[in-house]
């Protein structure tokens, strides 16, 4: 099988998983429009792959009020986009036991960038994707901590858990449309997201980025709509939680649909 989409808009493509997956898609013959805050890295991406296969648009998704205008401009400039790949994310730890004095601003920023902004992007692009006659998709990069939260990272874990719920719900509600909803659930991966721990730890923490990208792309090629890579704790236990949770979700969705008839 080959990757079924021809032009992917990759949000959060200047580093980490987003950049690695953007590179992998171009290498597979897929056109990529990369989006991120750092113009120098976007320029490097286009220079690396050439303008025939790569383009780039600087944009900060954390400013939600600008998202509708951004989406309209992308749709106008790149009407052949058929896949929205949402990767952007930030991660910071929090000590909550400080008598309510932990800093709300970075806490809420994580919730905004990792969850609310991705919902806003989905909202902005979904009508465009649904209207297309050919298959389209939205791919979300989640996290294993969406399933088993990390106590030291409450904001990051909560944002990824919220994104997982949104993904499950969106997939269920779009099941009769042309839009496939895909979620990738990574373990810790060796990327810049861990820089707050220091460069030495950052370089060694988690799965090598190339290994992750290989596994994620393999899952995309196989047509999986939920690509679980790695685990928190024993793989058998973790995967059972993922599977049982999804089954329970789908059972509840079926019951609620039946009640509405």
Which residues are CB-neighbours of 184 under 8 A, at least 6 positions away?
139, 140, 141, 142, 216, 219, 227, 229
| Cα–Cα distances in angstroms (integers) from residue 63 to residues 3, 67, 120, 127, 251, in the given order | 31, 7, 10, 21, 37
Active site residue 115: no
The alpha helices in the chain, defined as continuous H runs, are: 16-27, 39-49, 67-77, 104-111, 117-131, 154-173, 199-204, 209-221, 235-260
pLDDT digits (tens, 9 = 90+) for 117-155: 999 999 999 999 999 999 999 999 999 999 999 998 999
**Token pair in block for residue 118:** 């991705």
Provide, for the chain, the percentages of residues in helix, strand and coil under a 3-state DSSP scheme, each rounded to the nearest 5: 55, 15, 30
Per-residue pLDDT, 206 = 76
**Token pair in block for residue 179:** 């839009």
Distance CA 48, CA 5 (A): 21
Bridge-based pairing of strands 83-86 and 136-141 is parallel
pLDDT digits (tens, 9 = 90+) for 91-100: 888 888 766 6
Phi-psi region of 124 (alpha: psi -120 to 50; beta: other; left: phi over 0): alpha
pLDDT reading at 55 higher than 70:
yes
pLDDT digits (tens, 9 = 90+) for 37-52: 999 999 999 999 999 9
- Across the chain, mean pLDDT equals 92
Radius of gyration of the chain (CA): 18
Per-residue pLDDT, 198 = 54
- Identify the residue with better confidence: 120 or 2: 120
Catalytic residue among 5, 78, 156, 196: 156
| Cα–Cα distances in angstroms (integers) from residue 149 to residues 153, 192, 209, in the given order | 8, 20, 22
pLDDT reading at 21 higher than 80:
yes
Q: How would you class 246 by CB atoms within 10 Å of its CB: exposed for 0-12, middle for 13-18, buried for 19 or more?
A: middle
- Identify the residue with better confidence: 244 or 200: 244
- Provide the 3-class DSSP secondary structure of residue 246: helix
- Helices 209-221 and 16-27 pack at an angle, to 10 degrees, of 50
């Amino acid at each position: 099988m080959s990757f079924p989409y021809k032009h992917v808009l990759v949000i959060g493509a200047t580093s980490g998983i987003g950049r690695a997956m953007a590179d992998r898609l171009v290498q597979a013959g897929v056109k990529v429009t990369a989006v991120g805050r750092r113009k120098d890295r976007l320029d490097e991406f286009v220079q690396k792959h050439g303008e025939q296969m790569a383009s780039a648009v600087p944009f900060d998704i954390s400013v939600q009020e600008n998202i509708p205008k951004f989406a309209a401009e992308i749709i106008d400039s790149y009407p052949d986009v058929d896949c929205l790949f949402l990767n952007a994310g930030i991660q910071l730890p929090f000590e909550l036991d400080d008598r309510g004095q932990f800093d709300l601003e970075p806490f809420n920023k994580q919730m905004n960038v990792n969850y609310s902004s991705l919902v806003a992007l989905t909202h902005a692009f979904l009508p465009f994707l649904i209207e297309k006659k050919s298959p389209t998709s939205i791919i979300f990069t989640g996290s294993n901590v969406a399933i088993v939260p990390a106590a030291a990272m409450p904001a990051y874990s909560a944002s990824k858990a919220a994104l997982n719920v949104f993904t499950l719900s969106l997939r269920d509600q779009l099941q009769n449309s042309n839009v496939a909803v895909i979620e990738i659930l990574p373990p810790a991966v060796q990327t810049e997201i861990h820089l707050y721990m220091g460069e030495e730890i950052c370089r060694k923490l988690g799965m090598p980025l190339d290994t992750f990208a290989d596994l994620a792309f393999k899952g995309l090629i196989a047509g999986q709509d939920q690509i679980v890579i790695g685990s928190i704790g024993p793989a058998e236990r973790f995967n059972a939680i993922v599977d049982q949770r999804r089954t329970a979700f789908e059972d509840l969705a079926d019951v609620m649909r039946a009640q509405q008839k």
